Chain A
Amino acid sequence: MTVAAEGSPPLRMAGSRRSPLLQSEAVQGLALISPTFVYALILLVLPILVVIAHSFWTQNYLTIDHTFTLENYRIALTEPIYRDLLWRSLYISLTVSLLTVALAYPIAYFISFHGGRHKSLWLFLITIPFWTSYLLRVMSWKVILGYNGVLNSGLMGLGIIDEPSTALLYNSSAVIITLTHAWATFAILPIFVSLEKVDRTLVEAATDLGDGPLRSFLRVTLPLSAPGIISAALIVMIPTVGDYVTPKLVGGKDGVMIANAIQAQFGKASNWPLGAALSVTTMIIVSLMAGATVLVIRALQRLAR
């Protein structure tokens, strides 16, 4: 080994000269991400391109007419039924994100500021609901909100209502309640992380400069945790717009969302191009809404001074 190594310096020099490309950090980095990148390309970018392409085509029963048309988008944007569904989806997802962030924040705050030695235990407890499947969790909301459900029998037992309320299940409120519960953890974690990063001395400095607990929270802790609020809001908002299991199970006919319509177009209605156009429209609108949310939260953050 040693002899071979001693005998081969010219060769090794040639080798190192041959591969400056592999020495470059950029190339090494690309090599490192390439498996994931290829995977994402095949499973994410390609399907999206296929969907976008379909949205400009027309379907005649079983054949796809590949002539370019904007007809699908005209239907998606002007047909009242799709407009209403889109609006409702946006309304539900916005409400869910607001509620989730509002409910998750105090929990994240408590764990971060008062969790003491048990922070990881608290975080662990929060993930426990994820041990059951999402479907089961949605179904259990059905049990809680249903006609003979826990809530109705409880209220009747207390004599607050005389007959079971039908206002609890099969409407958009039921969807909102269920989604808010389902996404809570995803909101708690990013907010917790951003609160952990808030230097506690800054809160002390605010106190030292005369702020009581509420004011120092509003002027220092809250604005500094804005990145966490933004990611929590986006993490909840973007997937909930397109959720279709929850509205299907607890939404009834008043809780139908855009994803249910898209599913119908790809399924029973067998109109892939319209489904694709609805998907693309939803994607664009969600991106705009997400962008707007970021801007609004940043503007609010700047108000604190």
Chain B
Amino acid sequence: MKYYDKLIFELSREGRSGYSLPENKFGHCLKELPKALRRPAAPELPKVSEIDVVRHYTNLSQMNFGVDTGFYPLGSCTMKYNPKINEEIAALPGFNGLHPLQPEATVAGAKAVYEGMDKALAAITGMAGFTFMPCAGAHGELTGLMIIREYHRRRGDTARTKIIVPDSAHGTNPASAAVCGLEVVEVKSNANGLVDVEALKPLLGPEVAGIMMTNPNTLGLFEKDIKEIAALVHECGGLLYYDGANMNPLLGVVRPGDMGFDVMHLNLHKTFSTPHGGGGPGSGPVGVAKHLVDILPDVKVSGFNGNFGVILRAYAYILMLGRENVKLAGKYATLSANYIKESLKDCYKLPIPSVCKHEFVYDGLIDDGASKAPDGHGATTLDVAKRLLDFGFHAPTIYFPLLFHQALMIEPTETESKETLDDFIEVMRKIAAEAAENPMILRDAPHCTPIRRPDETTAARNPILKYQDSICE
């Protein structure tokens, strides 16, 4: 990879141009614009030729890594391939020319997409109805928790101010609950990495608004006691919230509605193949069980009904797969994760050996090579992740979940062929062998990327959030 960090403005030269603007047909209107709204000077656009622009953006794109470039095993994020047909559908002029304020009678096609999605997601999740307004997962969590709070309020039960969250939860769960004004109560995991039902029981009572769960959880394990947990929480008067971030392995196999969940969100940008990370934007539709449908936000409030382009892409994905193939996505994702997990457990510590779903967690290297390092420090999970970049793989999720100090979380998704998985396994074995032999190779990695290790500490302590000339000097 070649290093390239120019700004398009740095390429600008007076008099250069790559485009002729059409004749300004509205020049005569200028006088009618109030003076305050007129620009005193022309905007400072970069003056560049076409080849300047093409090379600039091509070079920048090569500094990037995406699922179109290579394997992206980022646990908890479901970085599956984004099929190009999604883009073709979303680019159809009838869709991409829509304006959120145009009269309802003229958007029948878009309404049909929402209705179709509502039906498809209800069938996949076992929920009764969805709102498409939330624009990402955490936004969906907040919406869902507000629905739970409103449910209790309508029953005149205002004592329910606590929400139970497992210690393995995504960080967004307690954060969303806090934003919603609920008090977070943590429930511990047992030795098998699942919610400890016995530890849950004493937490339940008349102050509990509900419990937020991810199933499979962040260790990639299916919460097999979910029926019992649902019965206990319902018995105490609380509701169950399902964090849909890990829905992928369950597609077409198990439904949150059947497990006993009352409210849930889906991440269309994870499970339903829409662009994710950097590019986004996301979409986090919230589904509810029958008894909560009348609390869903009313679409009629606003014509701006979530990120329509994302919902449309996800709908294209579901229709392209069809009912039978949707089931295969989850099964292949589960098979791929178990295949990697079993293939590498002789070089990486596997704290929970049971069958996983779509992802799993190692707890660092078995032999970190500490005895071979001059300072006695072996290679950490961070070093393994950095070394992977040298071999053209995106790094997995590291140091999450917090249950394991050297957590390294891998989620291959159903996207990858067996050959890609085998390549990845071979590289991970090679890295483990390097660590045992000479951990400094890992600790100094990456060796082949345009930037080695950025100074994350200084960046966090003294962030520079906008372009400054001094950076380039």
The answer to whether A binds B is no
